[in-house]
Structure formats: structure tokens, C-alpha cells
Amino acid sequence: MKRARIAYRGAVQWTEVLGDGATLRLPSGETIAATSAQWLAPVSQGATIFALGLNYADHRKELGFKNQDPPLIFLKGPNSLVGHLGETVRPGDANQMHPECELVAIIGKPARGVRADEALDYVGGYTIACDYAIREYLENYYRPNLAVKNRDATTPLGPWVIDAADIADPQRLELRTLVNGKVVQEGSTSDMIMTVAELIAYLAETMTLMPGDMILTGTPQGVHFCFAGDEVVCEIRNIGRLVNRLVVETVS
């Protein structure tokens, strides 16, 4: 089952996604065309949003890091998210802005002190993120400042959440990013250094993970700089296709 968060006729609601996503079923039972609604980031109110850096072996090699260096974990604010078919502002001075396709694991029940071999039992679903990076603003790979990873609408998320039961193995998923129809990034979740289960167990050692909490699990190799007007698509096989467009920054 796939669930999407939308705005429709002035109300924000979770809906069931039917088929390939062209039709949505509202909580009332009414079905509507997806084109008549605005897709919102499928995030629950109050959710903690974790993000991973340097969690793919091929991406580490691409950037010149050793695999024994610990993955980077940081938090994202809710304003950094934008939904499917949304727009992301490309700062006027950002010539090194590139998309990063990521699998997102969503916690389904409270998790604290869980073992890695049982951690997937705590996943409620999965979605896709496009976590843009802006290299000019990066102070240090181990300190991603606000200007890099928490600018408004720089993390498209969606288009929907697919139930965890529908994904047999989160470590066997193919990812790719396309810019204006050209493939610029490809990889597999099998290349993760810390698996989804290991990440959940690691985070749950420190704090209780709550239903709705999200873990952006990192990105594979492939750096491609984007510009205003570009259409960016992040795809993960068996989950979906997340579409976003970059727009020019307007100075008020």
C-alpha cells in the first residue's frame, strides 16, 4: 500500500495512492485525480528527520574519504522539505549545487535499544529524498552548516510512503537520478556502509525513535551540478519516482 500527504480543497490529508499514482483515494472514500491535488512532503507532524552523509562506499571513494571514517549524521528542519512536483530555489551564487538520491526509512513504532537483527521490524515504510548539496556553502564534510542542508525546500521528499511489508529487502534497491532526462547518478543500497537496520540500531542506542521519524540513509556516487530550469528526478526501484524543478532565486 502507498500513502501520500496532499493538500486538496483547503485541507491537508493523507490519502491512499492507487495504481501508478494517477488516482488518489481520500479518507472519505472519494477518489480524485492526483493532478487536482498538491503533493506535500509525506512527513508526520513532530517527526525527527535524520540525514546521513558519506554512507556509501562508492561515494566516499569519489570524494576521497576512507571507509573506516564514521558516517556523518545530522538533523533537518521541516522547512527544508518540499513535496513531489515542488520547486527548489537555486541560490544565485550557487554554481556547485547537485542532487543526491536517497532511500528514506520511516519508523513505524517506538524503538529504543533494539538490535540490528530486529531493527527492520520497527520500519513502517519507505520513501525517496532528493537531498541537494551546495558545495560553495560547505565548511567541512563533518559539519554541514545550515546553508548547505537546511535551506527552505532544498530536500524534496516523496512522492508517497510505501509500506515496509512491500519492500522485501531495503539493501537490494537500485537508485538513480536524472537531470532533464539524462542519468547523472546510479547506485544500489547494497553499497551502504551502515545498512538501514544498523542505522536504526545505532540511533536507538542514543534516543527513542518514534513513529514517523525519518532516516535519510545517504547517497551513492555521482556529482552533477544543476541550474535553474532543470527538472530533477530521483527514482528508487519498487518505491517510486520523485520529481522536482529548480527555479531561479529572486531578490526582494
pLDDT tens-place string over residues 181-210 = 999 999 999 999 999 999 999 999 999 999
pLDDT tens-place string over residues 10-42 = 999 999 999 999 999 999 999 999 999 999 999
Asked if 128 and 184 sit in the same domain, the reply is yes
What distance in Å separates the CA atoms of residue 228 and residue 8, rounded to the nearest whole number? 28
Asked if 28 and 92 sit in the same domain, the reply is no
What distance in Å separates the CA atoms of residue 234 and residue 224, rounded to the nearest whole number? 13
Asked if 106 and 27 sit in the same domain, the reply is no
Asked if 46 and 21 sit in the same domain, the reply is no
**Residue-averaged pLDDT of the chain:** 91
Is residue 65 classed exposed, middle or buried when 0-12, 13-18 and 19+ CB atoms within 10 A define those classes? middle
Asked if 72 and 15 sit in the same domain, the reply is no
Asked if 156 and 32 sit in the same domain, the reply is no
- Residue recorded with cell 551540478: 225
Q: What is the CATH number of the domain that holds 1?
A: 2.30.30
Determine the pLDDT at residue 57.
Answer: 74
- Domain region containing 177: 41-248
Asked if 57 and 24 sit in the same domain, the reply is no
Residues 6+ apart with CB under 8 A from 34: 17, 21, 22, 23, 24
Residues 6+ apart with CB under 8 A from 170: 103, 105, 120, 123, 126, 189, 195, 196
Given a cut of 90, whether residue 62 has pLDDT beyond it is no
Determine the pLDDT at residue 56.
Answer: 84
What distance in Å separates the CA atoms of residue 176 and residue 31, rounded to the nearest whole number? 31
Asked if 19 and 53 sit in the same domain, the reply is no
Asked if 29 and 45 sit in the same domain, the reply is no
* pTM given for the model: 0.93
Asked if 143 and 238 sit in the same domain, the reply is yes
Number of domain units in the chain: 2
Asked if 17 and 128 sit in the same domain, the reply is no
Asked if 162 and 225 sit in the same domain, the reply is yes
